[in-house]
């Protein structure tokens, strides 16, 4: 545990995840070139992203079950093979259908990566180190998005579409080689599964789902992550540029700020979770509440929202990524390691289903206002966006309600095991008292 070997294995896992995020986000940054190559309009282009995410989300539970059965090594390598095939397909595709098939292969491989990498953490690191290592996994992985925005885009402009996508395929081939040659599922002598007959698939799935801690993780992930995903993957750019009237370069600057905040917020969040495990859901609810408040402020601001307010919105949305890692921490602490892949898959569905649902609802509300003549200034007018994006408040409210319901169940179970979660006011008073006594000279 915590050895140099653990860091090597984790490093390769994290590299595999970074490459998966690079593959996932590579298409989003080449929108104009893709529109040209595939002769596609906005709806066809969004189908590339939506179908890729649908494949990703729908594979989470099967992948979780497979990871528990076959281990991380083989799943990471298989995921990388699918992503390499997908990017090769994109490299040569010239029609919307063949391009979408490529993106679906990428979504398939991507779906296999994160759950498998996260499963390595508790097997190679002890429970005090695990929250921080999980957060760092998320943080380092997000750098893949920066690789798409900067070097990948530069490569595409320098060498053209086919070469650039073939280079991405080569990155995944490198992951296959590293995973098969160096990565190991667990340290020698550590078995993730208990002795005896292995549990059947349905038993594992049923047990992971019945554990209220898994569902608490799923609703945490659902509530806190989707708004940032909707913004970064689909509606952020059109809202800022066509709705709010920002220039493309200001919008790109705000998007880079989004990635920077998501990366910087990870480690402190990991330390908070390690230190105050009984306050994990409170942090999720606080960030979700803040998200709702900032959206309300932006959507109610008459005319263009000032840059400082947009920056606050982007910063709060960016917190959604690292704080959604708390969902995986619930899966880790409430499930035995031989069910962790399945539980992680269940949790990971939450945020992506919420994001897909909201992406669709926002698009639908924009369309319907336009069709009914309610947005005379255009499909993407600011007033139309105000109504459409407000739907997020319903999704946030629904998620927070479900989270609080299942949290009551989790707390009852903890109580039965002798662990009482004190009310926040009492915990805060105890914390201040402790700080005071640490500060006093005696």
Ligand X SMILES: N[C@@H](Cc1c[nH]cn1)C(=O)NCC(=O)O
Residues that bind ligand X (CB under 6 A): 114, 138-139, 142, 225, 262, 266, 321-322, 324-325, 348, 351
User: Measured from the CB of residue 106, what is the shortest distance to ligand X in angstroms?
Assistant: 12
Q: Which DSSP category does 328 fall into?
A: H
User: Measured from the CB of residue 318, what is the shortest distance to ligand X in angstroms?
Assistant: 8
For ligand X, the closer CB: 57 or 299: 57
For ligand X, the closer CB: 108 or 262: 262
CB 109 within 8 A of CB 20: yes
Which pair of tokens denotes residue 178?
């590293």
Angle between helices 130-147 and 113-124 (to 10 degrees): 150
Exposure on the CB side of residue 59, measured as CA atoms within 13 A: 24
User: Measured from the CB of residue 389, what is the shortest distance to ligand X in angstroms?
Assistant: 21
Which pair of tokens denotes residue 355?
């994001």
CB 308 within 8 A of CB 173: no
CB 205 within 8 A of CB 65: yes
User: Measured from the CB of residue 428, what is the shortest distance to ligand X in angstroms?
Assistant: 27
For ligand X, the closer CB: 89 or 116: 116
User: Measured from the CB of residue 66, what is the shortest distance to ligand X in angstroms?
Assistant: 15
User: Measured from the CB of residue 347, what is the shortest distance to ligand X in angstroms?
Assistant: 8
For ligand X, the closer CB: 186 or 225: 225
For ligand X, the closer CB: 114 or 246: 114
User: Measured from the CB of residue 320, what is the shortest distance to ligand X in angstroms?
Assistant: 8
Q: Which of 13, 6, 21 is nearest to 262 (CA)?
A: 21
List the Cα angle 106/109/110 in 5-degree steps. 80
For ligand X, the closer CB: 74 or 232: 232
User: Measured from the CB of residue 289, what is the shortest distance to ligand X in angstroms?
Assistant: 19
Helices and strands in the chain: count of H runs, count of E runs: 20, 0
Q: Which of 257, 364, 240, 247 is nearest to 316 (CA)?
A: 257
First to last CA, the chain: 37
For residue 198, the SS3 value is: coil
Q: Which of 353, 352, 328 is nearest to 342 (CA)?
A: 328
The answer for residues whose C-beta is within 8 angstroms of residue 93's C-beta and 6 or more apart is: 38, 99, 101, 102
User: Measured from the CB of residue 72, what is the shortest distance to ligand X in angstroms?
Assistant: 14
User: Measured from the CB of residue 325, what is the shortest distance to ligand X in angstroms?
Assistant: 5
Which pair of tokens denotes residue 114?
């994160």
Q: What span, in angstroms and rounded, lies between the C-alpha atoms of 163 and 184?
A: 32
Alpha carbon 268 to chain centroid, angstroms: 18
For ligand X, the closer CB: 87 or 225: 225
Q: What span, in angstroms and rounded, lies between the C-alpha atoms of 399 and 318?
A: 18
Tell me the CA distances in angstroms from 332 to 114, 130, 268, 327, one per residue in order: 14, 9, 19, 9
For ligand X, the closer CB: 52 or 142: 142
User: Measured from the CB of residue 201, what is the shortest distance to ligand X in angstroms?
Assistant: 22
Alpha carbon 148 to chain centroid, angstroms: 17
For ligand X, the closer CB: 221 or 375: 221
For ligand X, the closer CB: 185 or 348: 348
For ligand X, the closer CB: 89 or 225: 225
Q: What span, in angstroms and rounded, lies between the C-alpha atoms of 328 and 340?
A: 9
CA quadruple 333, 338, 341, 342: dihedral sign:
negative
């Amino acid at each position: 545990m915590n050895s140099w070997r653990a860091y090597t294995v984790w490093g390769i896992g994290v590299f595999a995840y970074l490459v998966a995020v690079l593959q996932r986000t590579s298409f989003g940054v080449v929108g104009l070139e893709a529109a040209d190559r595939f002769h596609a309009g906005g709806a066809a282009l969004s189908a590339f992203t939506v179908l890729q995410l649908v494949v990703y989300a729908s594979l989470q539970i099967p992948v979780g079950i497979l990871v528990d059965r076959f281990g991380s090594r083989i799943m990471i390598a298989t995921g990388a093979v699918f992503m390499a095939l997908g990017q090769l397909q994109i490299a040569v595709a010239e029609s919307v259908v063949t391009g979408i098939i490529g993106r679906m292969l990428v979504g398939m491989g991507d779906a296999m990566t994160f759950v498998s990498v996260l499963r390595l953490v508790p097997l190679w690191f002890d429970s005090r180190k695990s929250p921080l290592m999980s957060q760092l996994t998320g943080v380092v992985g997000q750098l893949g998005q920066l690789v798409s925005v900067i070097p990948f885009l530069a490569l595409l402009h320098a060498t053209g579409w086919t070469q650039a996508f073939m280079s991405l395929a080569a990155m995944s081939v490198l992951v296959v080689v590293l995973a098969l040659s160096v990565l190991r599922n667990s340290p020698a002598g550590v078995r993730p599964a208990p002795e005896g007959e292995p549990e059947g698939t349905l038993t594992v799935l049923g047990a992971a789902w019945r554990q209220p801690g898994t569902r608490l993780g799923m609703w945490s992930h659902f509530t806190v992550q989707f708004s940032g995903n909707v913004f970064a993957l689909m509606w952020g750019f059109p809202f800022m540029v066509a709705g709010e009237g920002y220039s493309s370069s200001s919008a790109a600057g705000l998007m880079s700020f989004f990635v920077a905040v998501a990366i910087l917020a990870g480690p402190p969040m990991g330390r908070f979770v390690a230190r105050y495990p009984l306050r994990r859901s409170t942090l999720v609810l606080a960030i979700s509440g803040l998200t709702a408040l900032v959206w309300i402020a932006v959507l109610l601001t008459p005319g263009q929202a000032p840059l400082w307010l947009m920056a606050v919105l982007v910063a709060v949305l960016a917190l959604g990524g690292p704080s959604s890692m708390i969902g995986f921490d619930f899966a880790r602490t409430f499930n035995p390691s031989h069910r962790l892949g399945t539980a992680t898959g269940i949790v990971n569905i939450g945020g992506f289903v919420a994001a897909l649902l909201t992406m669709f609802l926002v698009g639908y509300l924009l369309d319907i206002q336009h069709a009914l003549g309610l947005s005379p200034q255009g499909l993407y007018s600011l007033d139309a966006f105000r109504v459409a994006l407000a739907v997020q408040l319903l999704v946030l409210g629904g998620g927070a309600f479900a989270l609080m319901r299942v949290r009551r169940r989790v707390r009852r179970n903890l109580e039965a095991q002798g662990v009482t979660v004190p009310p926040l006011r009492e915990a805060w008073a105890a914390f201040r008292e402790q700080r005071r006594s640490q500060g006093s000279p005696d």
